[in-house]
Amino acid sequence: MLVLTRKKNESIVLNDNIEITIVDVQGDQVRIGINAPKSVSIYRKEIFLEIQAENKKAADVKAIDLKDLLK
């Protein structure tokens, strides 16, 4: 993991097209702004993990046997 130190209003750039800016720091909370193309999905990690779990659940559902459907 790369760890960088940034101050308020300072940024980092990823892949020439994603800019992450420190907007505000209050106590133990940091507000960040992300400027990225619309084609880039951005999620909070807890939401991303929920999406992955739901996708895995959906993929694990057994397909209904067509014969059972036609009965």
Select from 22, 19, 58 the least CA-distant residue to 42: 19
Tell me the average pLDDT of the chain. 89
**Which pLDDT band, with edges at 50, 70 and 90, does 36 fall under?**
very high
Half-sphere exposure of 20 toward its Cβ, with a 13 Å CA cutoff?
11
Q: What's the mean pLDDT in 2-27?
A: 96
Strands (E), 1-71: 11-14, 18-26, 29-35
Q: What's the mean pLDDT in 34-48?
A: 96
Strand partners, 19: 13, 35
* pLDDT at position 63 over 60: no
- State the residue for tokens 């993991």: 1
What's residue 66's pLDDT? 54
What's residue 55's pLDDT? 87
